[in-house]
Structure 1
Amino acid sequence: MTEHATHTAHVTHAALVDGEAVAKARVDALLKAVPARDRETRPEALARAERQRRRWATQVVVTDELARRACAERGLGPPAEVSSSGVLAVAESDVADLGSIVAAALAHSPAARVLLAELEGEQHVPETDVRDYYDRNRDRFLTPEALRHGVDPFGVAAERDFLPYEDVREGVARELRRAAGRRAFFDWLDRARAGVVYTHGHEHPGDPAHPDHEHRH
């Protein structure tokens, strides 16, 4: 074993956040809770998949740690502890919309969910934006009867073929506020993890500094 490998083997943290250690044990607990999705059989491919899985899990745990600190700074109170047992339930739609790291972090971390809700609540959606969304996405607001008759929302359609703006306004505003909250969460996360220092073997899975990186959020 090389001197570097010997040193790494004795390191007990996966990352440093503002100089404070995030224990490898937290990453190990998450890995136990989430089954491997790769089905590699060749030893070298399996080893690579596991290295990437550890890096992915580190990102999820670091996001949880950063969110805990952000909640404390905002006086949001201590979120409930994360359970290390069971399998994370992550919706495929969330993975598609958020990327696997953020989707898993929100499923894993009460602090991340509290912070996201706080950021969402801070968003102001102007009335003009709500109306503009309604006007530009008419296909989403066809009445059930219009849908049954196959009315083309962008062709020949009467006003009665659409749900009234007043009836859908609140839902549209909620959807736009949710999207803005997610963007704010991503912006916060990019800033918050800029100063995180990762232990060798725990880097971001897309970090080009390690040889088997891949861009997999």
Structure 2
Amino acid sequence: MEKEENQNSHSDSKEEIKENKDPKKTSKNKDLKPEDKIKELEDKLARAYAEIENQRRRFEKEKDDAFDYGGFSLARETLNLIDNLERSKLALESDENLKNSEALKKTVNHLNVIQKDMISILKKNNIEEIKSIDQKLDPNLHQAMMEVEDDNKEPGTIVQEIQKGFMMKDRLLRPSLVAVSKKINKKDENLKQDQKSEENQSKSNEN
């Protein structure tokens, strides 16, 4: 019995040795030649270096953006102050009690000075007004709010600026709100002429 057990244990150990020496069950790295291992390591190092370089570039871009556009939100809020100044001027100028008064002229002049100073400060910080009047509508810069019939202008030409737009360097701070021209509808024009002729005819009959 002891001999059989010894033989069995001896055979088991031999099988284990065979399994350990089985090339199918060893790792791929152990099967590689030294030069192949070196190539594999070089490839891993190259990929790791490329990833580090990409991260460095992303960091540099984020740092530059933070420096160039860090005041983006503040600049956009500042535009609301300029809009409020413009609304204040319009409200004062439309007040019947103040029209043609010296107080109105002085107040409007002061508001104009403040507005110009604010726009000058924006320009010093690379914030520029978007040109609109007589320009072709650019969806990247302008937002059309209405159409105005005008045969003297090419269709899509900006004829009125409702709200000024601004750029911060190469980024849109806010678009210009504009009105664009369109060709006069001949049917509508004929209807208007017919209505005018009817009105004139009725007036002449009354006389």
Over alpha carbons, which structure has the higher Rg? 2
- Normalising by structure 1, we get a TM-score of 0.19
Higher strand share: 2
